[in-house]
């Protein structure tokens, strides 16, 4: 992947670590960051790996770039500039983890919601203050947040401006765990290590079936049929029966 201006990317064999890095604007998501994250997604679609997404300087992302939003009109809204990216992140072949320290507000919160699992530091704060700017949270929060925390809490955040601190976010299931800031990335990597020990195809199909709208037993059966014929399934089960641990 090429060098970037708004993000830092560390490529490992089984994962890619992306750090949002616009310190002058608390990692606000602008058009350049959107383009660069699309490029990262392209690489992960071509060569599936786990994704760890975090922010530099004690902030995840304090929102979208307001100056850019101020200049956008109907045509830009219909292009779904942010929402298309976040949907692409949500549909990545292998799981994504957001390690959230500090503010995840507006578009920054929606980016975190698009990841499969979120970990947070005690300083993490989630919120969607878009109606205060005369717009709505149109990059997934209006439906993704409802799925994550339920309609009542989603409306408190989206309509009443409620912000969730790390403790509340964990209690409501938005984040999996609250971790001291100094340990946040290590804990996120440990979570990814555990995922990486699973069969890659099994992990990929499990995510695909879990995210499929509505769900259906036939979908489960078809995915399982693929896995039952895989060499990795036979190798892993042979190892288990032989008493080997992975």
According to DSSP H, which parts of the chain are helical?
31-46, 66-71, 74-79, 81-90, 107-114, 146-149, 151-158, 166-171, 184-196, 200-211, 217-228, 231-241
Choose the catalytic residue: 45, 46, 110, 147.
110
Nearest to 41 by CA among 116, 100, 91: 91
C-alpha angle 206-211-212 in degrees, rounded to nearest 5? 100
Catalytic residue among 45, 130, 167, 229: 130
Closest CA to 108 of 22, 178, 39: 22
Question: Any catalytic annotation for residue 45?
Answer: no
Place of tokens 């902030």: 59
Is 110 one of the annotated active-site residues of the chain?
Answer: yes
Position of tokens 């149109």? 138
Comparing CA positions, the residue from 55, 134, 64 lying closest to residue 101 is 55
State the Cα–Cα distance between residues 189 and 52, nearest whole angstrom.
Answer: 8
Q: Which residues are marked as active site?
A: 110, 130
């Amino acid at each position: 992947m090429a060098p970037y201006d708004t993000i830092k990317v560390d490529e490992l064999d089984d994962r890619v670590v992306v750090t949002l890095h616009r310190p002058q604007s608390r990692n606000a998501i602008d058009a350049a960051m959107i383009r660069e994250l699309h490029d990262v997604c392209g690489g992960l679609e071509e060569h599936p790996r786990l994704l760890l997404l975090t922010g530099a300087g004690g902030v995840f992302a304090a929102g979208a770039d307001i100056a850019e939003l101020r200049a956008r009109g109907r045509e830009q809204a219909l292009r779904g500039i942010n929402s298309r990216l976040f949907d692409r992140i949500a549909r990545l072949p292998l799981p994504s983890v957001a390690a959230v320290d500090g503010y995840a507000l507006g578009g920054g919160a929606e980016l975190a919601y698009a990841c499969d699992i979120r970990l947070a530091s005690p300083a993490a704060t989630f919120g969607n203050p878009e109606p205060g700017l005369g717009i709505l949270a149109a990059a997934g929060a209006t439906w993704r947040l409802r799925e994550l925390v339920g309609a009542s809490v989603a409306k408190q955040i989206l309509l009443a401006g409620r912000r969730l601190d790390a403790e509340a976010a964990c209690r409501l299931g938005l984040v999996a765990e609250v971790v001291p800031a100094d340990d946040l990335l290590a804990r996120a990597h440990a979570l990814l290590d555990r995922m990486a020990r699973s069969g890659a195809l099994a992990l990929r199909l499990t995510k695909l079936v879990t995210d499929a709208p509505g769900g259906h037993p036939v979908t489960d059966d078809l995915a399982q049929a693929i896995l039952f014929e895989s060499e990795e399934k036979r190798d892993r089960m042979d190892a288990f029966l032989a008493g080997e641990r992975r």
